[in-house]
Amino acid sequence: MNNSKKILAYLLTRLNHRDPQVRLKSIQELADLGDPEALEPLERVFKTDADESVRNAALAAGRAIFVKQLKAK
């Protein structure tokens, strides 16, 4: 497993953290990483997280990753 995949796995586990600030930071870091493997977990957060700011951040991050993926094609 390369470093970016290790980072991705770590950030994805933090999406379940009880502290919304930790989840928000992880979402921003996932957006910065730009790995399309984060899209489904971000969608889940967007649909299920109790915190509105976390849901909005997940939506924005998912869009950013999706657009980045389109531009790379």
Could you report the per-residue pLDDT of 2-40, keeping only the tens digit for each? 888 999 999 999 999 999 999 999 999 999 999 999 999
| pLDDT(1) > 90 | no
- What pTM, to 2 d.p., does this model score? 0.93
Q: What is the predicted pLDDT for the residue at 73?
A: 75
- Got the DSSP string for 19-69? -HHHHHHHHHHHHHHT-GGGHHHHHHHHHH-S-HHHHHHHHHHHHHHHHHH
Domain region containing 19: 3-72
Residue 72's pLDDT band (boundaries 50, 70, 90)? confident
Q: What is the predicted pLDDT for the residue at 4?
A: 87
**CATH value at residue 47:** 1.25.10.10
Number of domains in the chain: 1
